[in-house]
Amino acid sequence: MTALAALLLRDTRLAVRVGGGALMGVLFFLLVVTMVPFGVGPDLKLLGRIGPAILWIGALLATLLGLDRLLAADHDDGSLDLILMGHAPLELAVAAKALAHWLTTGLPLVIAAPLFGIFLNIDGSAIGIVALTLLVGTPALTFIGLIGAALAVALQRGGLLLPVLVLPLTVPVLIFGIAAGDAAILNAAPFGAPFLILIALTLTSVVIGPVAAAAVLRHGLD
Amino acid sequence: MNLGPYAAFILAAYSLTTAVVVALILWVLLDYRVQRKLLADLEARGVTRRSEPPR
Amino acid sequence: MEWIALANPSRFLALAERLLPGLAAATALAFAAGLYAAFFVAPEDYQQGATVRIMFIHVPGAWLGMLGWAIMSVAALGTLVWRHPLADVALKTAAPIGAAFTFVCLVTGALWGRPMWGTYWVWDARLTSVLVLFLMYLGLIALWRAIEDPARAARAAAVLTLVGAVNLPIIKFSVDWWSTLHQPASVFRVGGSTIHPAILAPLLVMALAFTLLFATLYVSAMRNEILRRRVRTLRLLQVHAAQGA
């Protein structure tokens, strides 16, 4: 157990130290939020209506772009090999890394979301609910992204491969996350159903992600 | 002095600006102290900027 | 004194030592005068009431945000064209200060907008342009932190600063155009149709106060950066000496 805690601590420290990986994600998130009005126009009513979607897509893209920090650096300097050879089960080790990644990349996005919601003219109470859906849903994005990160490392391919692999897998998370947020704004659809499904998706991904990623790393790095 | 019905916004704006200005001043002052201390430490250890190697 | 004489960091440090007390004092005086004028001399705007007093920090914030990038552009030329050694320092230190004042402009604008227009944020031409400027500042600061070697970082930052300087008028123009495309009939104007002289004078005093503040912070920050580079050089020397021994 201490090995996993050490790995978690190491990854968290590295992420906070190295050139602002956490803050870059938030900055990118803000950029996406800023770009959308240039596309759809500054009509505040429209922006308020699609606000949850913009926040979710922004968070998704920011998470995606941060995923190459998850495994690639360790693969490059050989730490990944050490982790593979270590005593801790590989599934738990990559889960610890994913958790550290979410704490330093995903969680800042969740904290920034209410502020960016103001830019998009989302209602006061709805902002809190959208932030809640992000809090519950962003771990799913990270743990699903873990699979893509493992594939990219095993296949030794960079570029857009990772996002192309990961995006389809995140569709359910996006659908139910935004549905829950919209329910809060429109008050027409129930909030509970999509929110519970979102929680289920996150819990599932926390299991499937590390298992799949470990399998890929084992077979790919042999 | 009556600041009107929106006094809270006026106060918030001025307080926030003061906070940012104070933060900037603190940053500059503290950074100065840190750098001078580091330089003093290095000097005490005999590291100089002259081209001759330290004795 | 010729600019080239300032190229010597030690000379700059000596100059900073002499200038800073006076600058700081002038800043304090200007703020005292400006704040008094802002609260006790300026009348209430007939449309906006007392909230017009927010303008006295909002407008100088915008002005300094733009001034910051202008100063960086000159410094960038110094780095790339003339290789003036102090240009790197001038380039680096202006960014956080300019970004901070741009941030002040954005937030005070939101606090002004809420009572006036009913919303904290509006995607109108002016606010959007300032937001883009703020994002460019943040990107530039991220670039500085991404490169370890100060000289390489300075050259990269200088290029990005100049690209930004060229782009800012283009961005402003395109955002204005985009805004007129979408803007409904009501146009939001700052402070009414024209600025009454009774409001203009306090505004100018506050603008002066903020500019002096910028200058004071800037000179101090440049001094710190020079010292920081000395520390780095000494540490590298230390490592070399240890390796040689």
CA B38 vs CA B3, B32, B47, C89: distances in Å: 48, 10, 11, 19
Count other Cβ atoms within 10 Å, centred on residue A31. 16
Which residues of B lie inside 8 Å of C (Cβ-Cβ)?
1-7, 9-10, 12-14, 16-17, 20-21, 23-25, 27-29, 31-32, 35-36, 38-39, 42, 45, 47-49, 53-54
pTM: 0.86
- The total of other beta-carbon atoms located within 10 Å of residue A132's CB is 18
Q: Within an 8 Å CB–CB cutoff, is residue A115 touching chain C?
A: no
Q: Do chains B and A touch (3 or more CB pairs under 8 A)?
A: no
B52 confidence band (pLDDT: 50, 70, 90): very low
Nearest to B47 by CA among C235, C41, C155: C235
Q: Give CA–CA dist A64/B30, Å, rounded.
A: 37
Q: Which residues of C touch A62 (CB under 8 A)?
A: none
Interface contact flag, B28 C228, Cβ < 8 Å: no
Residue A107 CA to residue A109 CA, distance in Å, equals: 5
| Inter-chain CB proximity B35 and C227 less than 8 Å | yes
**Secondary structure (H, E, C), A6-68:** HHHHHHHHHHHHHHHHHHHHHHHHHHHHHHHHHHHCCCHHHHHHHHHHHHHHHHHHHHHHHCH
Q: Are C68 and C98 in contact (CB under 8 A)?
A: yes
DSSP-derived letter for residue A120 is: T
- The stretch C114-126 carries a mean pLDDT of 84
Query: What is the rounded end-to-end Cα distance, in angstroms, of chain C?
Result: 44
Cβ of C114 and B9 within 8 Å?
A: yes
Q: CA C99, CA C62: separation in Å to the nearest integer?
A: 10
pLDDT classification of B31: cutoffs 50, 70, 90 = very high
- Find the mean pLDDT for residues B13-21: 96
Q: CA of C174: which chain A residue's CA is closest?
A: A38
Q: How far is B3 from chain C (nearest CA, A)?
A: 5
More confident residue, C159 or A219: C159
CB under 8 Å to B19, separation ≥6 — which residues?
none
- Hey, where are the domains in chain C? 3-183+198-244
Average per-residue pLDDT for chain C? 86
Query: pLDDT tens digits for chain A (222 residues)?
Result: 588 888 888 888 888 776 557 788 999 999 999 999 999 988 888 998 899 999 999 999 999 988 888 888 888 888 888 888 888 899 999 999 999 999 999 999 999 999 999 999 888 888 999 999 999 999 999 999 999 899 888 877 667 778 888 888 899 999 999 999 888 777 767 888 899 999 999 999 999 999 999 998 888 765
The answer to whether the Cβ–Cβ distance between B17 and C97 falls below 8 Å is: no
Please state whether at least 3 CB pairs lie below 8 Å between chains C and A.
yes
Do A23 and C121 make contact, defined as CB atoms within 8 angstroms?
A: no
In this structure, are residues A161 and A152 in contact, taking their beta carbons and an 8 Å threshold? Answer: yes
**How far is it, in rounded angstroms, from Cα A200 to Cα A152?**
27
Token pair, residue A78, equals 């050989």
